[in-house]
Structures are given as C-alpha cells and as structure tokens.
Amino acid sequence: MRKGFDALNHAVAALGTGQTVVTTVKRLPGAQGKVELPEDPELETEQADEEDAAVTIDAPAASGNGKPRSISKPKFMDTFDLSVSDKPWKEFAAQYSPKSDNERYLLAALWVTENAGTPEFSTNHIFTLFRAVKWNEQVDFSQPIRYMKSKNSYFEHPSAKTWKLTQIGLDAARAVSKAGPQ
C-alpha cells in the first residue's frame, strides 16, 4: 500500500500541482483496534515540493457551470390514476418486453401521453409508473430522459418541470418489442 501512495505522490509532483504530504503511521505488532501511540516526531515524515500551493482534486462537474448537478428525488403521485384509460398502465406495460431503461422510460412516457391524456408530464408521473410495475429506478431518475433528449431528440423540455415526447420519441416508443405470448 505504501508503494501506491508513493506512486500517487510522484505523479502529483510530476504535474507540479503543489504540496505533497506523506504521513507514515507505525503500528505496534500484535495490537488490534485503535492503539494510542506516544507523540514522536519520527513517526511523521513530510515532503514538500518547490511550490507551497495546496493540492485539490475536484470531482468532475455534471453540469455546464462547473457546479455538481443537484439530484432531485421524484415523488410518488398517489392521486395519479393508473387505470384512467381503456388500457390500464400495468396491462399496457405487460404487453411489452423492454430491453433497457431507455425503453422503459419511453413506454412510460408513451402511456402518459396517449392513455392518461397528459402530453406534458413530469418525472413524478414516470416515477409513479415505474413504482407501480416495480421497475428498477436510477439514482438520478431524470438522467435517461435528459440523455434521450440530447442524443436522440426523443423528448422536449417545454418548461422547468415538464417533459414531452417528440414525434421521433413517440415512434421509438411504439417500436419497443412486444412481449411474447403469455
């Protein structure tokens, strides 16, 4: 493990990004758990590069402004009627065998648009449908919708909290594989 830290310190030093601090902790043989050692200046070794700047490693930002994207947790809509049409959601979902999360999102958006009569919907609508049929939920629940908007133009974002399937998205949702005989 010590070699790994040395390699990391050498890599950071090669980049010339600032100060490198190496701390060595000696453990008593046979001691388990936490053991208090007397303070001894020989227990810590410190190496400093020419520069005195601090080393900071930032996680990559998810949004374009340099700040990490805040993930909002969708809410289950207990007043959303899943049997509002002649084709209830569970029956509709059982007709298909989606192979990916993207296909599941497309099917949920298709049902909300065509069967629930809600052409502009929120992620709460989709989340409620996922929960009803026990589909796996992503940590960042709206990420697949954002991805399909930017890469495939399947969704529009008419307002801050609403989404809408485009014609291309409707066609893609209708093309999802149907389930075999049940």
CB 130 within 8 A of CB 137: yes
Please indicate, yes or no, whether the overall pTM of this predicted structure exceeds 0.75.
no
**In the chain, what is the straight-line distance between the N-terminal and C-terminal CA atoms, in Å?**
55
User: What local confidence, expressed as pLDDT, does residue 101 receive?
Assistant: 97
Q: Is the Cβ–Cβ distance between 112 and 92 less than 8 Å?
A: no
- How big is the chain, counted in residues? 182
Residue pLDDT tens, the chain, 182 long = 667 767 777 676 667 645 545 555 555 565 555 545 455 444 444 444 433 333 333 344 456 778 887 888 999 999 999 998 899 999 999 999 999 999 999 999 999 999 999 999 999 999 999 999 999 999 999 999 999 999 999 999 999 999 999 999 999 999 999 987 65
Domain 89-174, CATH: 1.10.10.10
SS (H, E, C) 114-174: HCCCCCCECHHHHHHHHHHCCCCCCCCCCHHHHHHHHHHCCEEEEECCEEEECHHHHHHHH
- Going from N- to C-terminal start, the domains of the chain cover 2-43, 89-174
